[in-house]
Amino acid sequence: MKNKDVIQVKKLDFNIDTLNILSQVSLSVSKNEFVGLVGPNGSGKSTLLKNIYRHYTPSSGMIYLNGKDVFKMKSKEVAQQMAIVAQENQPDFDFSVREMVIMGRYSRKKMFEQDDQTDFEVVSQALSMVGMQGTEERSFLSLSGGEKQRIYLAMAFAQESELIILDEPTNHLDIGYQLYIMEIMRQFQDKTIFTSVHDMNLAARYCDRIIMLKDGRIIANGSPEEVLTVERIREVFHVDTEIEKKKEYLRITYLGWI
């Protein structure tokens, strides 16, 4: 059972100085699961993900990637198994789309190894997955915000990793793009997705499982129906809701702040 867990987090604590941001977080994400992380601003969603993808170092606790201590792995080894799409700052220098996306191939290349036909094919495939086929030679800086985010997504696909972590990549994008990205992710039956989600309707619709954080602790972990209840949303978000099940999805209507 253990080796089916792609991510395993055990008793993770993360403090900044004396401030406790995450406490005793334990969770696991299994192969081919689509798991959403929800919670109010400041609940520690992004901090948790950043610990998993090694941007932060935990104060205590363990994080395993496919059974290995992630902090003892080599950078390239991690990147072969885990791709990250986060909200990125724009570069100040102008690269072409191809030059950007091919960065995703880095963990598969040896020093001095030239980019070969396989790499170019993976790049163009990744671009078609995000609906940006044929844009290889365009300048990255000339793209719109949503297009840029799609290029970052293609970069992650080009990594050909089993696990993709999405750290609020869609926050500043309009609802069309948010749905679009979730749709693309949903299509990958053979990938494991762990994503933070703001919109609970999106979470309910796309996630197999939802983990809810509040004040740095996991307060619920289960199917959308188990996690997203009127009482819990009121308690955690201070929002009154009506929740009904239409077709196979939950539908959440926000009634107002309390």
> Binder to other proteins among 26, 60, 75, 118 (CB under 8 A)?
75
Nearest approach in angstroms of CB 54 to other proteins is 7
- DSSP letter, residue 174: -
Beta carbon nearer to other proteins, 15 or 201: 15
- Burial bucket for residue 89 (CB in 10 Å: 0-12, 13-18, 19+): exposed
Taking contact as CB under 8 A, which single stretch among the options 81-89, 126-134, 204-212, 246-254 is the one that binds other proteins? Answer: 81-89
**Residue 189's CB: how many other CB atoms inside 10 A?**
7
**Is residue 88 at the binding interface for other proteins, with CB under 8 A as the rule?**
yes
Number of helices (H), then strands (E), in the chain: 9, 12
Contact 51, 29 (CB under 8 A): no
* Residues 204, 200: Cα–Cα separation, whole Å: 6
166 makes contact with other proteins (CB under 8 A): no
Burial class (CB in 10 A: 0-12, 13-18, 19+), 2: exposed
Tell me the number of residues near other proteins by CB under 8 A.
37
Count the neighbouring beta carbons within 10 Å of the beta carbon of residue 177.
Answer: 17
Residue 255 found at the interface with other proteins (CB under 8 A): no
CA 225 to chain centre: 21
Query: What is d(CA 82, CA 165) in angstroms, rounded to the nearest whole number?
Result: 7
Stretch that binds other proteins, among 59-67, 101-109, 197-205, 236-244 (CB under 8 A): 101-109
- Pick one of 80, 125, 201, 229: the residue that binds other proteins (CB under 8 A): 80
Residue 112 binds other proteins, judged by CB under 8 A: yes
100 binds other proteins (CB under 8 A): yes
Determine, following the binding rule CB under 8 A, whether residue 89 of this chain makes contact with other proteins: yes
Footprint on this chain of other proteins (rule: CB under 8 A): 53-55, 74-80, 83-84, 86, 88-96, 99-100, 103-104, 106-107, 109, 111-112, 137, 141, 152, 155-156, 159
